[in-house]
Structure 1
Amino acid sequence: MNYAEALQYLYSFIDWERGIGYGVDSPPRFTLDRIGALLRILGNPHQRFASVHIAGSKGKGSTAAILESVLRAAGLRTGLYTQPHLHTFRERVRIDNRPLSPETFSCLVGRIAGAVETLKDEHPDLGNPTTYELATALGFLCFAEAAVDMAVVEVGLGGRLDATNVITPQVSVITSISLEHTAILGDTLTAIAKEKAGIVKNDGVLVHAPNPADVLRVFKKTCKERGARIIAADESRCEAIATTDPREEAAGACSSDNSKSMGGKSVHSSTGTWRAASPRTDLPPSCENSTAPVTARELPDWEYPAQVCAVTALGEQREVRFSLCGRHQRVNLSVALAVVDVLVAQGLPLSVDAVCAGIEAVRWPGRFELLSARPLVIADGAHTPDAMACLRETLTEHYPGRSIHCVLGTNQDKNPGPLLDVLLPVIDRLIVCRSRHPRAQAPREIAVAAAGKVPTTVADGVDRALAIGMNAMGTEDVLCVTGSLFVAAEAREVFGLAEELDPPLDLSGARPA
């Protein structure tokens, strides 16, 4: 089985995330019985590594990335399981923050395929697993065989019946809760909180982010019933001192003298606007007489947007440069610091220096990520009103007074109206588009929701939307790409920031559940 065949196999099952496969129009049947049986056939790999388990409506991926970076900085061998991926399925399962090789991935999928056949023979009543369940089994098998010291595992949906909820972690974590996936998890915060709290284990430890009082009551009740200790993250452990702006740090923005230099590159402008070329054949030129923007790949780390924070780590206060921007990321960092305290109390060898080094080294693509410094292009996967509010706050915090243009693409399960209500007050121009994702929303539907509120242009795809946006920008303007991680991912591709891409596949068929 080669890599393309391995991917084709995984996607031949029901994929609720992409809305592909037989039966996806029916209500999903969530159960832990199927993943449990599959893992038993594989030798219970989920019982052979230590872990941190992270649920939440937003912030769980960023919190997972911070923790993994800290653990790796301490010299531990780490596993990281997250979803969705941006460019290649292999991003979902990482060892020491490196995605699996195509060869390792294919080998593991081959073994899982054999286990699935046994599952069908021994438990025909359970039906076929889903793509997500197979990916989870793959991750756990990989972590066990790689002998990781600690795996950081992100919940996919909810918590109680999520396929990851078969592990017994050292710490359970719940980040911020908001109304999302209400058709599955419930239409109130308390209902959603009950599903998230399902990851709390008997006699375990729960670390949670600040949340509304009714959500916290659910957490406390669950912990009391299960004899678990509950720890609230303290936001005051991470306070912003300053923010950085790559346009101010880097010389070379287009200016009246038509030329400035940075790192040996000259950038010229005669018009004061960014000139875009035909999309997807090459990157749109940033200025007249120039060949390409100064993309993030060409910049040293210190030129990325960041915030300088005073953090209290293991009882010591230190100043760190934190590349995940915004107040919400400071909250996520405070959650990670609380988890570190628990792990150290349990005997894990983590030092203050390692914690700070890990914080400074963390990168999490698609989350207020700089794609280009000149012109200034930011990508953020915000796709809920709460996440969009965080993006709005971060944009105004880092780029006050700037004119903001926005490329926006959403998925069909999102009502664009509430997203636009949050975002439109701070943007000057909107370009709506559709990603390649099967569940992407028609851009004209988004445009209807924005009608009369801000100048709006409809584009066919993310590449064309970027070209339109960059053509309209002034030299001091900001272009923000948002609405879904899939739109952010395609923007990264346009700017040459995708290290690898999965091969094209025929995803028209899937097995019945």
Structure 2
Amino acid sequence: MTYNEALSYLYDRLPVFHRVGVSAYKPGLSNVLALCDALGNPQHKFRSIHVAGTNGKGSTSHLLASVYQAAGYRVGLYTSPHLKSFTERIRLNGVAIPEADVAAFVESQQLVIEQIQPSFFEVTVAMAFDFFARQQVDIAIIEVGLGGRLDSTNIITPLVSVITNIGWDHVDILGDTLPLIAAEKGGIVKENVPVVIGEMHPETQPVFEEIADRHRSTIHFADQQWKLTDGGCVDGVRLISCTRAGRINSSFTVELPLLGLYQLSNLKTVLSTVDVMQSQLPVNDEAVEIGCRQVVSLTGLKGRFQYLSQSPAVIADTAHNKPGIEALMATVETITYDRLRLIIGFVRDKDVPAVLSLFPPTAIYYFCQADSVRALPVDELVTLGSAAGLVGNRYPNVNTALDAALAEAGINDLLLITGSTYVVAEINLL
């Protein structure tokens, strides 16, 4: 079986969330447990850090992987979805899993897959765990796919459980209140395993404290343990002064190529996680600085306030829900430009009217849609945009929209592409 044949088999035979949405979601752990049992339970053969959260879990996972790579560890990284290639989901020291390994896994497990009838995501999780076990990683950073309690990744017992934040997303699956969403994401907490919470929030703090107490897990709120001061952007990096709360002479400066202001919250989560793990995975401040500065080259992270070109500036960001767009627009407000041109597309299962209310009516809009059955049709987006006071033209895809924006833009304009991971993934410039 070739790599392309393996991918075709997975896509054609198994339900894929990023293609069909919630109908592909198979809550529960029985399928992935059966898959891993057939593989000799690789999830028990490597150490891990488990990362959940509404927003920021991808950036946090990549930053953690980069820091531990800079410290000299052999690091596995599992994230989803991918932008350009399926192999991006599974990395070893930043290098994507070889296509031959994907093909060999699918071919060897084809009979098991057909017996169990798992989802696409369940198979990729089992593939990742098998790969990390065979590669004998020192640590694997495992990003939750959706939620936490019933997510396929939740069969590991990590060294630390990490929850970046809680916001409104996937309410049809996770619950329609912040405490309910927090309870689902808090389902990754394990007995006697410490938990790092990125942001203390009055509605979710009691939920996390109760979960931690029930599991006899120490709890750490990252935003209470670290003070970060933004020093602005210089030469393509954001300068961030980092100080441990209550510690004298503990400051150092990080140069972060991830320029979104929202990355400060993610960085606090990373720093707290590294502190919690010091006794098991020692890391010095120099490794933190190197890992942060080189996160893009060390892990291949893309699509997080990423500059694709200059004059005019073209930025792509995978923000796709209300908290993510709020954080993104806060960063945009810190940039000087003549005109803001927004190229946007969404999936239909988001609260698009609520998200559109966050965009400025003074911008020029280029409405588009991704090549996915989950995509919100561009005609519907134009109607919703008009109701929100956002005026622009419609385009069949992100690249024709970007071409039109570039043709009309002045050299000092800002072109921002956002709204959906799947829209960003289709950008030719990425």
* Bin of the TM-score, shorter chain as denominator length: over 0.9
Structure 2 partner of 1:473: 409
1:146 alignment partner AA: Q
CA 1:96–1:29 in 2, change beyond 3 Å: closer, same or farther? closer
Instruction: Write out aligned runs for 1:472-491 (5 A).
Output: 472-491=408-427
**Equivalent residue for 1:444, pick from 379, 391, 413:** 379
> Which secondary structure does the structure 2 equivalent of 1:405 belong to?
strand
SS in 2 for 1:419: helix
The answer to which of 325-334 and 86-95 deviates more is 325-334
Measure the CA separation in 2 of the matches of 1:29 and 1:6: 21
CA contact (8 A) 2:311 2:412 kept: no
What amino acid is aligned across from residue 100 of structure 2 in structure 1?
E
Q: Deviation at 1:401? A: 5.1
* Pair 1:8 & 2:5 matched: no
Pairing 1:45–2:34 present: no
Sequence identity of aligned pairs in percent?
36
Tell me which residue corresponds to 1:371: 308
Please report how far the alpha carbon of residue 477 of structure 1 lies from its aligned counterpart in structure 2 after TM superposition.
0.6
TM-aligned CA deviation for residue 28 of structure 1: 4.6
Could you tell me the TM-score, scaled by structure 1's length?
A: 0.79
Native 8 Å contact 2:311 2:413 kept in 1: no
Aligned pairs for 1:233-244 within 5 A = 233-234=222-223, 236-244=226-234
Deviation at 1:313, TM superposition (A): 7.0
**Aligned counterpart for 1:166 among listed residues 155, 158, 163:** 155
Report deviation, 1:435: 1.3
Q: Deviations over 1:388-435 (max 9, x none)?
A: 1111001112x135421000011111232111110124x520000011
Q: CA deviation at 1:482?
A: 0.5
How far has the Cα of 1:145 moved from its partner? 0.3
* Partner in structure 1 of residue 321 of structure 2: 384
User: Take 2:55 and 2:314, find their aligned partners in 1: how far apart are those partners?
Assistant: 23
Deviations 1:216-274 (A, max 9, x none): 11000001111111001036432211223xxxxxxxxxxxxxxxxxxxxxxxxxxxxxx
Which residue is equivalent to 1:292?
A: none
Q: How large is the RMSD of aligned CA atoms in angstroms?
A: 1.7
Determine which of 133, 136, 154 is the counterpart of 2:125. 136
Please list, as runs of the form range in 1=range in 2, the aligned pairs for 1:96-107 lying within 5 A after superposition: 96-107=93-104
SS in 2 for 1:414: coil
Aligned ranges 1:341-420 → 2 under 5 Å: 341-345=275-279, 347-363=280-296, 364-397=301-334, 399-400=335-336, 402-420=338-356
Q: Secondary structure at the match of 1:19?
A: helix
The runs of at least 4 consecutive aligned structure 1 residues that moved more than 6 Å come to: none
* Paired residue secondary structure (1:159): coil
> What count of residue pairs does the alignment treat as equivalent?
420
Paired residue type of 2:258? L
Q: Could you say which residue in structure 2 is the equivalent of 1:310?
A: 241
Output aligned runs, 1:18-29, within 5 Å.
Answer: 18-19=19-20, 25=23, 28-29=25-26
State how far apart, in whole Å, the 2-side matches of 1:313 and 1:111 are: 49
Report the Cα distance in structure 2 between the residues aligned to 1:34 and 1:100, rounded to whole angstroms: 23
The answer as to 2:209 corresponding to 1:220 is yes
**Where does structure 2 lack aligned partners over 5 or more consecutive residues?**
none
Structure with max Cα Rg: 1
**Contact in 2 for aligned 1:313/1:355 (Cα 8 Å):** no
CA 1:28/1:334 → structure 2, altered by over 3 Å: closer, same or farther? Answer: closer
Deviates more, 1:153-162 or 1:446-455: 446-455
SS at match of 1:18: helix
- Whole-angstrom distance in 1 between the partners of 2:382 and 2:119: 34
Pairwise CA distance, 1:74: 0.6
Q: Structure 1: which amino acid aligns with 2:293?
A: E
Answer yes or no: is the 8 Å Cα contact 2:337–2:414 preserved in 1: no
Deviation string for 1:25-67 (max 9, x for gaps)? 5x95411112112111100000000000001110100100100
Q: In structure 1, what is the equivalent of residue 365 of structure 2?
A: 430
Instruction: Summarize the Cα distance change of 1:114–1:96 in structure 2 as closer, same or farther, 3 Å threshold.
Output: farther
Partner of 1:289: none
Shift of 1:318: 1.4
Any idea what SS the aligned residue of 1:214 has? coil
The answer to whether the 8 A contact 2:169-2:350 is kept is no
Contact 1:72 1:96 in 2 (8 A): yes
Question: Could you say if the C-alpha distance between residues 136 and 359 of structure 1 is closer, same or farther in structure 2, counting changes exceeding 3 Å?
Answer: same
Q: Secondary structure at the match of 2:241?
A: strand
**Bigger relative contact order, structure 1 or 2, given CA contacts below 8 A and separation 6+?**
1
* Aligned partners of 1:159 and 1:196 also within 8 Å: yes
Structure 1: gaps spanning 5 or more residues: 121-126, 245-301, 498-513
Q: 1:338 maps to which residue? A: 272
Does structure 1 conserve the Cα–Cα contact (< 8 Å) formed by 2:160 and 2:196? yes
Question: In the aligned structure 1, how far is the partner of 2:369 from the partner of 2:8?
Answer: 24
* Aligned pairs for 1:203-282 within 5 A: 203-234=192-223, 236-244=226-234
In structure 1, what residue type is equivalent to 2:372?
H
Partner residue of 1:93 out of 90, 101, 110: 90
Number of the residue aligned with 2:257: 323
TM-score by length of 2: 0.94
- Give the conservation status (yes or no) of the 8 Å contact 1:57–1:176: yes
Mapped contact 1:432–1:446 kept (Cα < 8 A): yes
Instruction: Report the Cα distance in structure 1 between the residues aligned to 2:268 and 2:163, rounded to whole angstroms.
Output: 12
In the alignment, the residues of structure 2 paired with residue 469 and residue 34 of structure 1 have an alpha-carbon distance, to the nearest angstrom, of 46
Distance in 2 separating the partners of 1:116 and 1:480:
41
